[in-house]
Each structure stands twice: as C-alpha cells, then as structure tokens.
C-alpha cells in the first residue's frame, strides 16, 4: 500500500528556493586583528598630531594624554561588548541589544559618519607627505585637494571591482610603521629629550580653556581602531576571546607610541612650528628636524665623530624619504579601510532592516556592495571640496570626525551599562571587574567614566564648533528621516527589531 505522501506518476516536483545565508570566513587571529586595528590607529598619528596642535598648541602632549585615558575606557568597553556580541556592527550592535532598533541605527549612522570623515581626512593628508617628492602637493590647496579627491575616486573604483587589502599586508605594514615610529622615539628620547624644554614649550604656548577642551575632543581622532576590531568579529576565530585580547594589546601599543611621538615632536620643534608649517604632515616635521638637532651634539672623539657624521647624513636623506613613503602607504590603507568599514556596516544595518536594502545591493558581476561604496565615497569627496580653496578645512574635518566618534563611543558605553542592567546573567567571556553595585546589578566604573567623559566632551564640541554642530546634526537628522520613512514603508515597528533579512537581495 502506497502512502499518500509518496510521489505518483504525473506529479510535478517543485523545488522551493531557500535564501542562502552568506557568512564570512573566520580566518583572523590576534595578530591579524591587532595589525588591522593598529594600521588604522597608527595612521591617525600622521594627521592627528597636527590637528591637535592647531587647536591646543603647547597643551598637545597633555591633551593627547587625557584623550588616551578616555581611549582606555573605550577599549575596555568594546572588549566586553565584542566578547558578548561577536558580530559585525560594533557600537550599533551593542545599542541594538542594549536598547532598541532605533538607538542601534543612530549608533550605526554616527559610525558611518566617522568612516566617511576618515576617508576624507586620511586621503586629504596623503599629498602633504608626498610633497617630499613634489612640493606643490604640500603647499597648493588646489593641487593637494585635487589629488586627495583622485585617491578617493581610485579606491572607490577598486572597491567596486572587489580589490581589497589582506591581513598579511596589514600585518607587514603595521610592523614597518611601528618600527619607524619606535626608531623616531628612541632617537628623540635618547639624545634630544630635555624636560626643561618640554615644560617651556607647554607653558609658553598654553591655549585658552575652551581650546584645551576642544583639543581633547579633536584628539579622539588619534585613538580610532576599537570599532575596526568589532567590525571584524565575524571573521575572527574564537572572537569572544581573541577580539578582547587584540583590543588590550592595541591599547597598550597606542598609548606608548603616541606618548613618545608627542614628546619627541616637542623636543625637535616648537608648538608654533608644528601647528603651522607641519600641521598637515607632523611626522614629516619630526623626520626633518630630528637629524638637524642630533647634529648639534657631536661626540668629542674624532673617530666617533666621523661615524656620527655619516650616520647624520644617512638620516637626513633616508628618514624623510621613509616617512613620506610609509605615511602615504599607511594613509592609503586607512582610507581603503574606511571604505571597507562602511560596506560592512551599511550591509549590517540593511540586513537588520534599519536601512533600505539598496545599501546592501551587490553588483551582479563583481559581487560588491557598490551602492554603499558609491554613495558614501561621494559624500567624502563633498567634504573635501572646500579644501580646493584653503587648507583650513583640515581642522574642520577633525571636528566632524570627533562629532561622530564621540557620539558612537558614548552610545557604546551606555549600551554596555544597559546590558549589565537588563541582562545581568548573560555570558560575558571578557567582563570588566571594577564595578559598583546598584540594586544588585554590577555596573563597570570604566564604562560609567567613559560615558560621562565622551558625552561631556561631545557637548563642548557642539557648543564651540558651529560647523561640526550643524553638519553633524544635519547628518543625523537625514539618517533618522531615512530610517522612519523606510520602516513605515516596510510596515516595520520603529523601536522593536524587525525580521532580519537573509541572503543577498536586490533593491527593495
């Protein structure tokens, strides 16, 4: 006897299409994560030092130190968050789980703004360092900005075609970059460090109070990279363990290097020189003045003096060349990393139905999210256009980056605190232990301090920087408007999570 569900002659077999879930390969370990993140953080010192000096003058080392403490709070918060939620999205993912869908989108949209400004400011700095080979690149706003726009267009095309950086390249360049920075620090501290000179440069050029606080906000651009690691969580082996470990290693590396570089900078040039002639390429200024300052202290022994003369001559020819090539390469990788970060993040937001599915539309031939790449690259170019007439846009870009990054960090801290309150028993492979107990719930002190500090500095930024205030809030208003219109059109709740989209879709 045949069962009724058995196939009979003439029956038509229908194969139901099941949407395929595309997952990223988990190939990264601690070195790969550290290298990718430090490639971004290490690149920021090539422009952040100059931007901070433009605002804070003699207080630059102090400002970077205060911002470094806040960076520790940020890194520890992200370490707990990514161990608990090892998925792409970073602060957007934390906020989605800690609050609701709308707050998650706001965090993600602010982070996209930071990525867009990263693309603009990293590519904007490259021509200044390449001015070593052709001087108009450094001194002509028109030529320098045109080249920076060309770099964004070039990388935009490469990313649409599917060409991207690899973990091996990241690791190689990060090691070379770190080695060069260590060399500058060793030479500067061993032979030129003068506590009296450092103190004199700080006190003589101390800024006004609002510039000091604004400088801390701008200095946040020097401590990027925590989001990079969280965005790569889905490509990491055992991310709940290795991602926090990479964050801790990066935290110590960054603090040591940035402290050393800022002290050496004030040992070889005045804050005024740093904030004017070398504002857009501060590390090139260190490489230029360091051999000259070393030459002023030759050894007394004639034989050693000959070797010393050869050494100084080699430094004068080799060090500026090395910094120019290395800075150009590292900043190029950082610009590309910003494009990659935007493509990952916009895909994540669209997959969670917080952005229209057009932002995750994949090219039929190249299999890349070309809509997101084209749209956000175009916005980065628009931010650079005022630079065609003046290099003053450099500080403005720093303020814009601080607007997005500080808002993102504040929401990340708030989300971790909310998750501690709402889900106290959730598994946390990396858990911050220094906590205060409130109604039976342990709230990490570093997250509380991080929330207070990042939000306070963000408020100061929007008070004293009208350009950052209006453009930043305009960007956020645009994003929230898109979010509300899309969610209503798709008949999705505004606050609760909608059904996650599966697979790769076309526009919707």
Question: What pLDDT is stored for residue 225 in this prediction?
Answer: 67
Question: What pLDDT is stored for residue 234 in this prediction?
Answer: 66
Per the prediction, the chain carries an average pLDDT of: 84
Question: What pLDDT is stored for residue 452 in this prediction?
Answer: 96
Contact between residue 250 and residue 15 where contact means Cβ atoms under 8 Å apart: no
Question: What pLDDT is stored for residue 168 in this prediction?
Answer: 63
> pLDDT class for 102, splitting at 50, 70, 90?
very high
> pLDDT class for 3, splitting at 50, 70, 90?
very low
Cα end-to-end distance, the chain, whole Å: 49
The pair of three-digit structure tokens given for residue 488, joined into one six-digit string: 């209503």
Question: What pLDDT is stored for residue 147 in this prediction?
Answer: 96
Question: What pLDDT is stored for residue 170 in this prediction?
Answer: 64
Residue 422 neighbours by CB distance under 10 Å = 12
Task: Return d(Cα 301, Cα 505) in angstroms, integer.
Answer: 74
The pair of three-digit structure tokens given for residue 394, joined into one six-digit string: 């450099």
Contact between residue 49 and residue 268 where contact means Cβ atoms under 8 Å apart: no
Task: Return d(Cα 214, Cα 208) in angstroms, integer.
Answer: 10
Residue 177: pLDDT above 60? Answer: yes
Residues 6+ apart with CB under 8 A from 72: 251, 255, 446
Residue 174: pLDDT above 90? Answer: no
The pair of three-digit structure tokens given for residue 347, joined into one six-digit string: 């895909």
pLDDT tens digits along 109-160? 999 999 899 899 999 999 999 999 999 999 899 999 999 999 999 999 888 8
Contact between residue 283 and residue 49 where contact means Cβ atoms under 8 Å apart: yes
Residue 21: pLDDT above 60? Answer: no
Question: What pLDDT is stored for residue 451 in this prediction?
Answer: 96
Question: What pLDDT is stored for residue 389 in this prediction?
Answer: 82
Residue 4: pLDDT above 80? Answer: no
Residue 2: pLDDT above 70? Answer: no
What's the rounded mean pLDDT across residues 465-487? 93
> pLDDT class for 297, splitting at 50, 70, 90?
confident
Contact between residue 359 and residue 209 where contact means Cβ atoms under 8 Å apart: no
Question: What pLDDT is stored for residue 35 in this prediction?
Answer: 73
Range name among 33-47, 272-286, 432-446 with the lowest pLDDT average? 33-47
Residues 6+ apart with CB under 8 A from 398: 48, 51, 55, 121, 218, 221
451-456 — which CB contacts under 8 Å span 24+ positions?
451/410, 451/413, 451/414, 451/417, 453/70, 453/73, 454/70, 454/73, 454/74, 454/220, 454/406, 454/409, 454/410, 454/413, 455/406, 455/410
Residue 22: pLDDT above 50? Answer: no
Q: Quick one: fold of 30-296+314-460?
A: Amino acid/polyamine transporter I (1.20.1740)
3-class SS string, 462-478: HHHCHHHHHHHHHHHHH
CA dihedral of 15, 21, 26, 28, whole degrees rounded to 10 = 140
Most confident region among 29-38, 59-68, 301-310 by mean pLDDT: 59-68
* 169 vs 105, more confident: 105
* Nearest alpha-carbon partner for 225 in 38, 30, 28, 453: 38
* 3 vs 198, more confident: 198
* Nearest alpha-carbon partner for 353 in 503, 501, 231: 501
Range name among 335-344, 367-376, 404-413, 489-498 with the lowest pLDDT average? 489-498
Task: Return d(Cα 391, Cα 203) in angstroms, integer.
Answer: 27
Most confident region among 148-152, 211-215, 367-371, 503-507 by mean pLDDT: 148-152
Residue spans of the domains in the chain: they are 30-296+314-460
What's the rounded mean pLDDT across residues 352-361? 85
**pTM (2 decimals)?**
0.84
pLDDT tens digits along 233-263? 666 777 777 778 888 888 888 888 888 999 9
> pLDDT class for 29, splitting at 50, 70, 90?
low
Range name among 274-278, 339-343, 484-488 with the lowest pLDDT average? 339-343
């Amino acid at each position: 006897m045949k069962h009724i569900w058995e196939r009979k002659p003439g029956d038509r077999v229908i194969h139901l299409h099941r949407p395929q879930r595309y997952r990223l390969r988990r190939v990264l370990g601690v070195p790969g994560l550290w290298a990718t993140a430090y490639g971004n953080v290490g690149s920021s010192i090539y422009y952040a030092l100059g931007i901070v000096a433009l605002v804070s003058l003699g207080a630059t080392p102090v400002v970077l130190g205060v911002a470094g403490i806040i960076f520790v709070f940020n890194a520890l918060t992200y370490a707990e968050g990514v161990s608990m939620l090892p998925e792409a999205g970073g602060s957007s993912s934390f906020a989605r789980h800690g609050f609701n869908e709308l707050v998650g989108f706001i965090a993600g949209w602010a982070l996209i703004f930071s990525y867009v400004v990263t693309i603009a400011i990293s590519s904007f700095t490259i021509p200044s360092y390449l001015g070593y080979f052709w001087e108009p690149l450094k001194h002509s706003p028109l030529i320098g900005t045109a080249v920076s726009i060309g770099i964004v267009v070039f990388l935009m095309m490469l990313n649409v075609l599917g060409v991207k950086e690899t973990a091996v390249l990241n690791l190689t360049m990060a090691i070379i970059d770190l080695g060069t920075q260590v060399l500058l620090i060793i030479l500067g501290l061993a032979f030129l460090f003068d506590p009296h000179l450092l103190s004199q440069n700080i006190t003589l050029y101390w800024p006004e109070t609002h510039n000091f606080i604004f400088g801390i906000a701008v200095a946040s651009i020097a401590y990027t990279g925590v989001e990079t690691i969280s965005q790569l969580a889905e490509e990491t082996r055992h991310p709940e363990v290795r991602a926090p470990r990479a964050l801790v290693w990066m935290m110590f590396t960054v603090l040591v290097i940035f402290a050393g570089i800022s002290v050496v900078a004030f040992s070889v040039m005045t804050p005024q020189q740093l904030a004017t002639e070398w504002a857009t390429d501060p590390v090139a200024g260190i490489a230029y003045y360091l051999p000259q300052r070393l030459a002023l202290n030759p050894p007394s022994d004639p034989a050693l003096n000959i070797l010393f003369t050869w050494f100084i001559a080699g430094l004068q020819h080799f060090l500026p060349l090395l910094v120019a090539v290395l800075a150009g390469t590292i900043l190029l990788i950082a610009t590309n990393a910003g494009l990659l970060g935007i493509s990952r993040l916009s895909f994540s937001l669209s997959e969670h139905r917080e952005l229209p599915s057009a932002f995750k539309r994949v090219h039929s031939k190249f299999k890349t999210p070309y809509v997101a790449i084209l749209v956000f690259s175009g916005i980065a170019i628009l931010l650079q256009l005022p630079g065609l007439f003046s290099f003053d846009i450099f500080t403005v870009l720093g303020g814009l980056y601080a607007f997005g990054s500080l808002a993102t960090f504040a929401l990340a801290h708030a989300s971790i605190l909310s998750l501690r309150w709402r889900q106290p028993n959730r598994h946390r492979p990396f858990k911050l232990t220094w906590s205060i107990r409130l109604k039976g719930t342990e709230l990490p002190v570093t997250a509380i301090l991080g929330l207070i500090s990042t939000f306070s500095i963000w408020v100061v930024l929007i008070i004293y920087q009208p350009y950052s205030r209006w453009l930043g809030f305009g960007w956020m208003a645009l994003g929230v408007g898109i979010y509300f219109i899309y969610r209503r059109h798709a008949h999705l709740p505004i606050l609760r999570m909608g059904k996650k989209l599966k697979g790769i879709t076309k526009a919707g």
